[in-house]
Amino acid sequence: MGKGTRFEGKVAIVTASTQGIGFAIAQRLGLEGASVVISSRKQQNVDAAAEKLRAKGIEVLAVVCHVSNAQQRKSLIDNTVQKYGKIDIVVSNAAANPSVDTILETKESVLDKLWEINVKASILLLKDASPHLQKGSSVVIISSITGYNPPASLAMYGVTKTALLGLTKALAAEMAPNIRVNCVAPGYVPTNFASFLATNDAMRQELEGKTLLGRLGTTEDMAAATAFLASDDAAYITGETIVVSGGMPSRL
C-alpha cells in the first residue's frame, strides 16, 4: 500500500504494539505518515518491532511499557512528549486473558489482573495522556466481539471487554468536544494472543462458519478500521464502536 497522508505530522501512541493487532495498527498509522510510539513489556520485542517498522520508512519511538505499571505508563507519555512535543492519537490495545475458567471459578487474583490490564490501565493511560491531547486528537480503544456475547471459554475476558464499550461512551462525553473517543471490536483474528485459532482446526472452521464472509479476520482488517476512526475521515464520529467481525453477530 502506498503511503497515504492522513496522519502526516501526527503523533500516535499504540500500546501492546510489538505483534498482532497492535503492531498492524502501528504499521498502518505509520505508513499513512504518523510518527508512531510503540510499546510492550519486553525490550527485545520493542526493539525488533521498531526495526521492522523503520525498514518500511516509518518514524518510530520504541518504549518498554507494561500498562499496569504506573511508572512505565508515565514514562511512555513523557518520552513521547519529550521527543515529539504532543500526542494526537492514542490507541489502547493492551489486554490479558490469563484464564479459561468459568467466571465463578476464576481466582480473585486473576479477576484483579483482568480488570487491571483490560480496563483500568486504559483509564490510567488516558489520564496521563489527556493533558497532552488537543483539539482534533483522537482516542481508539480496542475491545472485542466477545464484549457483546462472552463465550464460555472467554467469559470474564468478554465482560472486561463489555466494560470498554461503556467506557468509550462515557469518555466520549467527557472528552468532547475537542477529543473524539471511539472503539473497535475485533472478531476472531489468528494471532499469538489467540493462538488457539491457528492451532485448532475444528474451532477455526466453526468460527469461520459463524461469519458471513467465511473467513477469520486479519490484523490488517483491524488496523484499517482503527485508522479510519483515528483519522479526520471520522471527524463526526465519537462514542461509537465498530464491530469488525466479518458479519459475526454482535447486536441488531
pTM of this prediction?
A: 0.96
pLDDT of residue 252: 63
**177 preceded by cis ω (within 30°)?**
yes
Looking at the annotation, which residues are catalytic? 157
Alpha-carbon distance 26 to 14, whole Å? Answer: 6
Note down pLDDT in tens along the chain; length 252 residues.
455 799 999 999 999 999 999 999 999 999 999 999 999 999 999 999 999 999 999 999 999 999 999 999 999 999 999 999 999 999 999 999 878 899 999 999 999 999 999 999 999 999 999 999 999 999 999 999 999 999 998 999 999 999 999 999 999 999 999 999 999 999 999 987 777 776 788 989 999 999 999 999 999 999 999 999 999 999 999 999 999 999 999 986
What does the angle CA 112 – CA 113 – CA 116 come to, to the nearest 5 degrees?
80
State whether residue 94 is helix, strand or coil. coil
Residue at grid coordinates 495498527: 25
SS (H, E, C) 23-42: HHHHHHHHHCCCEEEEEECC
Q: What is the CB-side half-sphere exposure of residue 30 using CA atoms within 13 A? A: 25
Identify whether the C-beta of residue 133 lies closer than 8 Å to the C-beta of residue 179.
yes
